[in-house]
Structure 1
Amino acid sequence: MLILVIAGLLMLAPFTVDAYLPSFHAIADEFGVGQAAVQQTLSLYLLAFGSMMLFYGPAADSFGRKRVILLALLAYAVMTVLAAISQSLVQLIAARVGQGLAAGAGVVIGRALVRDLFAGADAQRVMANVMLVFAAAPAAAPIIGGWLHEWFGWRSVFWFLFGFALLLALAIWRLLPETIRPEARQSFAPRFVARSYLRAFSHPRYMQLIVVFALLFGGMFLYVAAAPVILIDHLGQRETDFWKFFVPLVTGLILGSRMTRWLAGRLSMTATMALGLSISGLAVLYNLLQVSLQPADQVHGVWLTVTPITLYVMGMATTMPALNITALDYWPAQRGLASALQAATQMAFAGIVSGVLVAQLADSLLALAVGMATLYLAALAMWGFWWRTDRRMSSG
């Protein structure tokens, strides 16, 4: 049951990102604005979400996991109601920023809880399950959001998120123990927190894994954020057809999660990362080939488009639990802070992908494929730096 609660914490933030994606056109029409303006409700949410994580990590290390997450969930619920009753795009953007400021607690504290409660191969298996939910939520959310939009309109998506937040707060209040003993809590003094972040930023192996994580996730999120354009504009689908894109992605995430669970205790974490990166690399190559070989006047099929993306996220889901555990183990006494910096980097980069790269690349499926390939190659190069550094430090 605790694993389900932790998974719910990680699910809330990406659900808030993606559940309303099928409603982009309807929101633009209701408020009389363009798609680029509506896109700001996503990119500004992500920037607020990522930056606030830097607060929640030290706060959870100082005041305890349970107290911080309950207060954040209550704030999230209030902001979600304001989003549901927004009467203008400005009001909706303000409410989305408020959601982002509150939602960051779930990801930071959820990841830290895994290492508080589990160790070794058990931690890798649990993290695989938790990361499956975190990575699958961006894929499942538009399916649910699309049907809510079809049945009740776009505002119903936010009422759904409000109900989910209240149920999650109740479950945490009743079921989650406090995992930080009073004597193990860290100072929340600004100078101590600043020095701790400076030490984390200056730790090369930790930061290399953080950047790898962000780049790999960015490769998937490029397609998730561009999904309304890909499905509706490029592929001629409807708001209720998002399942054709996202169900295969969920399948890939499930397969990757099952693989990393099976590999836990059989392969080292480094070998597991290498295997997952190799799978994603094959997917990137396949994606470039299938896009570039299509005639310019031929409409790309949904299944042809989504197959390499499914393979990519399978490799990503294989890699990420080992990345997470290895990065957090560099900071055993400050896992909240380490998780915060990790998640903040990931979400800040996702905000850049959504606000900048999608706007530049979404008009062309080939451009999206090249964008994914670029992000993957950068991740692979950074992982190579980490691997060489880790081997050198271990042998020394």
Structure 2
Amino acid sequence: MTAQTGTGRNATHPAAGSPSGLRRLRFAVILGGLTAFGPLSIDMYLPALPAMTDDLGAGNALVQVTLAAFVVGLGVGQLVASPLSDAFGRRRPLLVGVTIYTLASVLCAVSPTIEMLIAARTVQALGAATGVVIARAAVRDLFSGVAMARFFSALMLVSGLAPILAPVIGGQLLTLTSWRGIFLTLTVLGGLVLLVTAAALPETLPAASRRPARAGHIVRTYGELLRHRFFLGCALTVGLGFAMMFTYISGSSFVFQDVYGLSPQGYSLVFGAGAVCLVLATQVNARIVGRFSQRGLLLTALIASAAGAVVATAATALGLGLAAVLPALYVALAGYGMVMPNATALALSDHPDKAGSASALLGVLQFAIGGAASPVVGLFGESSAVPMAAMMATFALLALVSFMTVARRGRLAAG
């Protein structure tokens, strides 16, 4: 791999007004908190999924639809939030979205049926989507090239604390309350993030850079992005990589507790250890991304992630214990930790004038593919760990193939 200072148009020039020092740290904490809505809302109640099947009288697959509904809602919500943020700035749509998230969290806590919970989770996701998409767009407003990849890695450090802490917090909350108390906790967190964002996050998109939110213009912008082969290849890599990760997220609660016999608290510790591996990988990436090609780093990470998932599949098929399965799974997760910042930065690098729309398409593919993976894991039953590991390997290999074919051909054509 060769040294590389940037990728794509204007990638070698820092974005105007790029923050530094304490201001950069403040942005990282706030934007990281906004992107944490997703993993917090997904991971915190994972230890409660088996208990929810009994409490709501629903089967395993139907309870996992509450995960899928949230993930799909995250994708759809970004399609709405991104053009609004390009037209009216980042701040106002963001505050409205966080308010919706907070109110929907209350509805989740009081849902009497699985059907109402699924509906409430969908609305909750629409609100959370603004934080996810606008945080990415704000990074593109402020940074470019290697600086953008480094900031995305820093963002994953902040937001990465969520999947580490969320299942641990959820497991401990279950000793004091039910799954409804977990959603009340998310309500409080949503209110706190709303207050901090309103007080401390300035507008990052100048009025002169805003684009009209006309339907025809929005459709044309999305069409241009989808015809950009390199963007499409990187976006598919992001989506398929997340599907691998989300297969683990949605299936691990049942696999580790029902197949391997862990308690909710034991599961939360094992899950948190995997998240530590992921976050450490993002920080290694931040330190070396300026020394090596982003494309080379991404390819290496994709290979590592696929290899770990394949080994985990073999270990589960042979009936080996957690001591053999967990290291392979952690390698797959660490690879994913380097895939996401590099693939995201490369996808956005050529589109500074369409940052909101490009961020939305990334999110749609990421969460739509991931959401589709969740119920499929549940359909294979709860008596074996093989389906989860095999699906992780499938998505990881597809992500590798996508980057090596679609994205590579797109970059060669552009060259």
TM-score, reference length from structure 1 = 0.93
1:169-210 Cα distance to aligned partner (Å, 9 max, x none) = 111111111011111101101111111111112221111111
Separation of aligned partners in 1, 2:285 and 2:409: 24
Separation of aligned partners in 1, 2:163 and 2:372: 17
Q: Which amino acid aligns with 2:248?
A: Y
Which residue in the other structure is 1:338 paired with? 358
Which residue in the other structure is 1:68 paired with? 93
Q: What is the percentage of aligned positions where both structures have the same residue?
A: 30
Which residue in the other structure is 1:189 paired with? 214
Q: Which amino acid aligns with 2:110?
A: I
Deviates more, 1:186-195 or 1:81-90: 81-90
Q: Which amino acid aligns with 2:295?
A: T
Separation of aligned partners in 2, 1:122 and 1:223: 30
Which of 81, 98, 117 does residue 56 from structure 1 map onto?
Answer: 81
Map 1:286-325 to 2 at 5 A.
286-294=311-319, 300-301=321-322, 303-325=323-345
Q: Which amino acid aligns with 2:201?
A: L
Q: Which amino acid aligns with 1:311?
A: V
Please state whether the residue corresponding to 2:352 is helix, strand or coil: coil
State whether residues 27 and 38 of structure 1, in contact with CA within 8 Å, keep that contact through their aligned partners in structure 2: yes
Which of 21, 34, 37 does residue 9 from structure 1 map onto?
Answer: 34
- Return the offset for 1:96: 1.0
Which of 358, 363, 366 does residue 386 from structure 2 map onto?
Answer: 366
Which of 260, 264, 273 does residue 285 from structure 2 map onto?
Answer: 260
1:318-376 Cα distance to aligned partner (Å, 9 max, x none) = 12211111101221101011001101111111110112244237542223222222111
Which of 78, 84, 88 does residue 103 from structure 2 map onto?
Answer: 78
Separation of aligned partners in 1, 2:164 and 2:299: 24
Does residue 88 (structure 1) correspond to residue 113 (structure 2)? The answer is yes
State whether residues 9 and 106 of structure 1, in contact with CA within 8 Å, keep that contact through their aligned partners in structure 2: yes
Which residue in the other structure is 1:167 paired with? 192
Separation of aligned partners in 2, 1:348 and 1:136: 24
Q: Which amino acid aligns with 1:95?
A: A
Separation of aligned partners in 2, 1:354 and 1:336: 27
Map 1:110-129 to 2 at 5 A.
110-129=135-154
Q: Give structure 1 stretches of 5+ with no counterpart.
A: none
Q: Which amino acid aligns with 2:396?
A: Y
Closer, same or farther: CA 265–237 of 1 in aligned 2, 3 Å: same
Q: Which amino acid aligns with 1:161?
A: L
Separation of aligned partners in 2, 1:214 and 1:388: 17
- Return the offset for 1:133: 4.2
Closer, same or farther: CA 361–64 of 1 in aligned 2, 3 Å: farther
Which residue in the other structure is 1:24 paired with? 49
Deviates more, 1:2-11 or 1:36-45: 36-45
Q: Which amino acid aligns with 1:245?
A: V
Separation of aligned partners in 2, 1:362 and 1:122: 44
Which residue in the other structure is 2:248 paired with? 223
- Return the offset for 1:139: 4.7
Which residue in the other structure is 1:393 paired with? 413
Deviating 4+ runs (over 6 angstroms) = none
State whether residues 259 and 382 of structure 2, in contact with CA within 8 Å, keep that contact through their aligned partners in structure 1: no
Separation of aligned partners in 2, 1:46 and 1:294: 31
Deviates more, 1:281-290 or 1:141-150: 281-290
Please state whether the residue corresponding to 2:111 is helix, strand or coil: coil
State whether residues 132 and 253 of structure 1, in contact with CA within 8 Å, keep that contact through their aligned partners in structure 2: no
Which residue in the other structure is 1:384 paired with? 404
Q: Which amino acid aligns with 1:336?
A: G
TM-score, reference length from structure 2 = 0.89
Q: CA RMSD in A?
A: 1.8
Separation of aligned partners in 1, 2:228 and 2:191: 38
Closer, same or farther: CA 160–247 of 1 in aligned 2, 3 Å: same
Map 1:23-42 to 2 at 5 A.
23-42=48-67
Q: Give structure 2 stretches of 5+ with no counterpart.
A: 1-25
State whether residues 306 and 332 of structure 2, in contact with CA within 8 Å, keep that contact through their aligned partners in structure 1: yes
State whether residues 251 and 310 of structure 1, in contact with CA within 8 Å, keep that contact through their aligned partners in structure 2: no
Q: Which amino acid aligns with 1:290?
A: A
- Return the offset for 1:135: 5.1
Which residue in the other structure is 2:18 paired with? none
Closer, same or farther: CA 88–59 of 1 in aligned 2, 3 Å: same
- Return the offset for 1:230: 0.7
Separation of aligned partners in 2, 1:310 and 1:335: 32
Closer, same or farther: CA 210–169 of 1 in aligned 2, 3 Å: same
Separation of aligned partners in 2, 1:127 and 1:351: 23
Count of paired positions: 390
Which of 143, 146, 150 does residue 175 from structure 2 map onto?
Answer: 150
Separation of aligned partners in 2, 1:362 and 1:350: 20
